[in-house]
Structure 1
Amino acid sequence: MQCSKDVLIFCRRRFTPGTSWCVVRSDASNQALQTALDYACAAGADCSPIQSSGLCFLPNTIQAHASYAFNSYYQRMAMAPGACDFAGTATVAKTDPSYGSCMYPSSPSTAGGIPAPTPPATVINNPNVPMTPLTTIPINGDGSTGLNNPGLTPPVPTTDESKASLDYIVATSSMSVMLLLVLSFILHPMWIS
């Protein structure tokens, strides 16, 4: 593409060879985009520009906000293969999606770099307690691999914390305690003699 002198800056920004951005797929549902957007913001994307006071808040649509968050995450992960999937709701684009004063990062340095991993908690070795090895927790926290990409899908709850579940646990625990009490009264004469 030939760039005239009048649009040279615009042309360089929009068509930089080797640069890519992560944006939403046009066929992604709003519900899937909201889930993926929540995940991206929690997993390290810089979502402050899409807050109500941010430069990328308008247009106030799930598609625009998710595109910005997906790209922020993608750039912070150094455009790693698979960092632009979000359970099939995102795709890599070669054209800069920036508009007006909303500038999409185009490299890890403009996206704030790769987030530093959180250091493990300090462990004091008590000689009376055996040490257990530290384990690495995947990015999504529950060990699942997701649809197409390890660690890039929102975590799925693994416990049921509903009132019905709590009632079942209390009832089961109470039954166990009652059974132990009954057995202790039955077996108590045997223990004494």
Structure 2
Amino acid sequence: MSELLYIKTSANGERSRSSQLCEHFIRQRLQATPETQVIQRDLVSEPLPHLGPEQWDALRLPPSQLSAAQLAYRRCSDRLIAEFDRADTVVIALPLYNAGIPSQLKAYFDLLARAGISFEFTEQGPRGLLRDKDLHLIATRGGSLAPADDHQIPAVKQLLGLLGITRIHSLIADGLDLSPDSREVSLTNAYERLAALA
């Protein structure tokens, strides 16, 4: 049985277009491979702590030097890394907020990226230690971006590359708030591409 990890990041609830696209993709995948087990992690309804001095030390100091709260944060990181590493496929809903990724997703990556655990430093640069897998970034944007202004897809690819994930498939539905026609065309194209991917 294969395992699919779905990471939901939108603050827009049921109206979220990134979530709607991801869930359409997952339904299509389940039709093709019904034995797939889906694990959902909603970073908005179950938020993770953002990185601060206490959290920084929790991931770097020996356990004997940590408080109970810091040990809990460290165990959370251990669980998230194991969950991510175990999955055969990962799907990330990726809306664009104020020219960047949701802060909830950055908090998640801060818990995943641990030197000596999920990546290591070498003379040639960082090397990922997690199992490579197919990872689908399903991104939405109200407008459109020039490549030089894109701090959404490249930023997430860089973070994933740090962990050793190279099989990254990106789908972008943009222009969603420009006009009704633009939204319809973009979403129609996105749904067609998702059906092909699934």
Scaled to the shorter chain, the TM-score interval is: under 0.3
Q: Normalization by structure 1: what TM-score? A: 0.21
**Whose Rg is larger?**
1
The answer to which structure has the higher strand fraction is 2
Q: Which has the higher contact order (CA 8 A, sep 6+)?
A: 2
More helix by share: 2
